[in-house]
C-alpha cells in the first residue's frame, strides 16, 4: 500500500506531466492545422437538464474534495499541537509529516483549477 507522501508525489508528477503535454500541444498546434476546426463537444445536445446536472455533480465532488483536504489539515495541525504539548517527539515527527502531506494535498486541490484552465486554454487553440 502506498503512503500518503508517495501519493502526493505521484499527484505532483501527474500535474507536471499534464503541463508538459499541454506545452507540447501548444507547439504542435502552431505546426499542424486542425482538421476539426469549428467542431466542439456540445453537451447541450442532450438538453439543458443534463448540462446543469453534470455541472452540479462536478461542483459537489470538488467541494467534497476541498472539504476533505481542509479537514486533513485541521487534524494534522491538532496532532502536532497535541504532541508538542505532551512532549512526545515520535508523535510530533509523525504529526508533522501528516500535516505536510495534508498541506500538499490542499495545495494540489487549490491548483487544480488553474491547471485545468491552462490545459483547456491551450487545447482550445485560441
CA of 63: how far to CAs of 57, 70, 79, 107, 111, in Å? 10, 10, 24, 14, 14
For 27-85, how does the pLDDT look when each residue is reduced to its tens digit (9 = 90+)?
A: 555 566 766 677 666 656 666 666 677 778 888 888 898 899 999 999 999 989 988 88
**pTM (2 d.p.):** 0.54
Task: Classify residue 109: in a domain, yes or no.
Answer: yes
Q: Locate cell 505536510: which residue?
A: 100
- The tally of domains found in the chain comes to 1
Task: Classify residue 26: in a domain, yes or no.
Answer: no
**Which structural domain range is residue 64 located in?**
44-118
Task: Classify residue 10: in a domain, yes or no.
Answer: no
For 84-109, how does the pLDDT look when each residue is reduced to its tens digit (9 = 90+)?
A: 888 888 888 888 888 999 999 999 98
pLDDT averaged over every residue in the chain: 78
111 and 104 in contact (C-beta within 8 Å)? no
Amino acid at each position: 500500500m502506498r503512503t500518503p507522501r508517495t501519493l502526493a508525489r505521484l499527484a505532483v508528477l501527474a500535474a507536471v506531466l499534464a503541463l508538459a503535454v499541454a506545452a507540447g500541444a501548444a507547439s504542435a498546434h502552431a505546426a499542424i492545422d486542425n482538421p476539426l476546426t469549428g467542431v466542439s463537444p456540445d453537451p447541450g445536445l442532450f438538453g439543458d437538464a443534463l448540462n446543469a446536472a453534470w455541472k452540479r455533480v462536478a461542483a459537489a465532488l470538488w467541494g467534497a474534495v476541498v472539504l476533505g483536504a481542509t479537514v486533513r489539515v485541521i487534524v494534522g495541525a491538532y496532532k502536532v499541537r497535541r504532541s508538542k504539548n505532551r512532549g512526545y517527539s515520535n508523535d510530533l515527527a509523525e504529526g508533522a509529516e501528516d500535516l505536510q502531506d495534508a498541506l500538499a494535498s490542499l495545495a494540489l486541490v487549490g491548483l487544480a483549477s488553474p491547471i485545468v484552465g491552462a490545459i483547456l486554454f491551450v487545447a482550445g487553440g485560441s
